[in-house]
Amino acid sequence: MSQEQVQNDNKVMTKKLFVVVIIMVAFGFAMVPLYDVFCQITGLNGKVNGLAVYEEQEPDTSREIKIQFMTINKGNMPWDFRPVQTEIKVHPGKEYEVLFAVKNRTGKKMIGQAIPSFSPNLTAQYFNKTECFCFNQQILAAGESEEMPMRFFVDKDIPERYDTITLAYTLHNVTPDDEQVAAK
Amino acid sequence: MADHKPKGISRWLFTTNHKDIGTMYLVFSFIMFLVGGAMAMVIRAELFQPGLQFVEPEFFNQMTTLHGLVMVFGAVMPATVGLANWLIPMMIGAPDMALPRMNNWSFWILPAAFGLLLSTLFMDGGAPNFGWTFYAPLSTTYGPPSTDFFIFGVHLMGISSIMGAINVIVTVFNMRAPGMTLMKMPLFVWTWLITAFLLVMVMPVLAGAVTMMLTDRHFGTSFFDAAGGGDPVLFQHVFWFFGHPEVYIMILPAFGIASAIIPTFSRKKLFGYSSMVYATASIAFLSFIVWAHHMFTVGMPVKGELFFMIATMLIAVPTGVKVFNWIATMWRGSITYETPMLYALAFVILFTIGGFSGVMLALTPVDWQYHDTYFVVAHFHYVLFPGAIFGTMAAVYYWLPKWTGRMYDEKLAKWHFWLSIVFVNLTFFPMHFSGLAGMQRRVPDYAIMFSDFNMMSSIGAFGLGLMQLLFAWILIKVCILEKGEKATDRVWEDAEGLEFTHLPSPAPYHTFDTPPKID
């Protein structure tokens, strides 16, 4: 094989390999949506599937499941944040409403975002929220307080082995910075 | 043909010669090895006794982080690239690497990358302190300002490795001498070819991960930030999708080295050549589907844990094939124990111990106890130090006479080996016990019940550190002081491979300008 031919082959192959590199960079980023889709199908990371609609149904009164509520302030989030009831007992198939109390203790307007997490993880897919403050950001003025509702029902086909579900909300400070808040 | 080479500093800056670039890679990796080793000395000094003695906990965290990063990306990986540069063209009868200018570039990016990384030590807020795995949110929300230097450093290391890997693949596919079929290539070339494919596949994913970190830190995205709808666990998936193949990137070249050295000193052909090739390829394939075994405690469903457990344990099969083949190669051979052979033997035995603790860690139920303990530290140091690094040292002793034309000081080398073997085990073996008893990694202090094991580990580590200075002296004697017997062209009795059978010692600056004849 002549020298030019080898050099030409080298060029072609190098280009092909750089295409592989670019595909793998894209794959690295594609893992983000793939992961979300995967978690939504399997309910693995304890995320809920957005807003659910409650259809009138006969509750399963033979079962009682304990729902515990926890609140966590992320980092130095300076709000008071606590569940009004720390736990309730529910029948699968019946809709309930609970309240979470929140207060902005600071002297300025702030924005918070609560992120839910279920334990055990896999119960997330049986926990349907028909209304939740976690679907929106909370904007509280200085010193303002609020009682935020969360309405939910537990699926009737939740496996027998689950008798307790712990729902933890982590409140994050997502206030961008002072000017932007003022502009809102 | 005259051996014409340019002189002075520009020879090294602008060189496109695979031997020069290989030398620079090896020297660079040895310097990084000493830098990372110095950090290990700080860690072991602090852990010599319980309580805080020498450094602040914050600085201790920076040391564990940088020790890991420097050793993985600065010492082990460039050392194997250096060996690839020196050896692959000679082994396949090519005049040089296929892309010599890219080769120069991929080396010279590295000093810049590590300049960025190590400069963080002198910055306000200190160097990265989140461990070499840089899990979010430690590295995003809580990372020190210097994290951005780390990110760009990793980008550069990635670019360098990708270019180096592409060079190897193109060289192996296009530059082989006529008659050098794929299944005739020495195993070192095979294992490096497979390593190069792993690099091309996973380094871009790592680059993606650090880019996401960068945008999370500064541009308002929330890939790994739960507050914005992201997920920190996603970081661990992306990282280990890179990280697990990465461990094979570090060890496969050493497999190839052992497969070259053991037959020479057993005076037999390598047992099961083709099964070695297929085993290497299977290990590479499996390495892509086992990543979550690093994350058993993150909260996975039982089915996921079972899958990753079984897939991980499956890796023991091709690895077992390789170990079996090395032992079968020695079976009834006329073995002599020159230093390269000693290192290769230690590699086989101690790497296998590291493999066993790997199988233990693969068992999900017990991993819950071992996770993030010194048992893990013992495991990966057994596969990396007496695995990858002993492999590299074996290679240096084995091919040094071919590179320089001189034999190293066998007596000193034997001292280097025997003391290293004592110290390496003294350092890392007690870590199994302290880990099983529950000592956590990456913590500068520990309960007093771990004192004895830690003192042993520290004494071993200081000895091991000194051994590297002895190694440096052995190399200086041969390479700079030019002392030592002249090596024969074959170097070792009946050594196989084009570099021994077709080339004089030292190997001339330009080799195989006309391809060799291969029977």
Q: Is residue B399 annotated as a catalytic residue, yes or no?
A: no
Residue with tokens 């810049």: B112
pLDDT over 60 (residue B1): no
Q: Which residue of B has its CA nearest to A134?
A: B227
Residues 6+ apart with CB under 8 A from B230: B216, B221, B222, B223, B224
| Beta sheet of A110-119, edge-to-edge order | A87-90, A65-73, A164-173, A110-119, A138-140
Neighbours of B223 (CB within 10 A): 25
Whole-number pLDDT of residue A47: 62
CB pairs under 8 A between A and B: 91
Of B206, B226, B237, the CB nearest to A172: B226
Residues in A touching B226 (Cβ below 8 Å): 115, 170, 172
Distance CA B357, CA B370 (A): 10
pLDDT at B283: 96
Measured CA to CA, the distance from residue A20 to residue A23 in angstroms comes to: 5
Q: What's the pLDDT tens digit per position in B154-178? A: 999 999 999 999 999 999 999 999 9
pLDDT of A178 > 60? The answer is no
Give, to the nearest 10 degrees, the angle between helix B18-46 and helix B390-404.
140
Please pick, among B259, B266, B457, B511, the residue that the annotation labels catalytic. Answer: B259
- At A86-108, the pLDDT tens digits run 999 999 999 999 999 999 988 88
> φ, ψ for residue A152 (rounded to 5)?
-155, 160
Amino acid residing at B202:
V
Task: Compute the nearest-CA separation of A13 from chain B (Å).
Answer: 6
Upstream peptide bond of B137 is cis (omega within 30 degrees of 0): yes
Omega of the bond leading into A149 within 30 degrees of 0 (cis):
no
Reported confidence tier of residue A124, pLDDT bands at 50, 70, 90: confident
Percent share of chain B, pLDDT over 90 = 92
Is residue A184 predicted with pLDDT exceeding 50?
Answer: no
For A:90-119, CB contacts with B below 8 A are 113, 115
- Chain B: nearest CA to A58, how far in angstroms? 31
Task: State both tokens at A104.
Answer: 């902005």
Substitution target from B234, B288, B307 for chain A, most A beta carbons within 10 A: B234
Q: Return mean pLDDT, chain A.
A: 85
The pLDDT-based confidence of A54 (bands split at 50, 70, 90) is confident
Nearest to A28 among B174, B208, B233 (CB): B208
Structure-derived torsion over alpha carbons of residues B58, B61, B62, B64, reported in degrees to the nearest 10? 160
pLDDT tens per residue across span B227-241:
777 888 999 999 999
Enter the pTM of the model: 0.89
Task: Write down the pLDDT at residue A44.
Answer: 64
Q: What percent of chain A lies above the pLDDT cut of 70?
A: 90
**What average pLDDT score do residues B392-411 get?**
96
Between A180 and B297, name the one with better pLDDT: B297
Contacts by A30-37, CB closer than 8 A, 24 or more apart: A31/B205, A31/B208, A31/B234, A31/B237, A31/B238, A31/B241, A32/B212, A32/B223, A32/B234, A35/B231, A35/B234, A35/B237
C-alpha A135 chain-centroid distance:
9
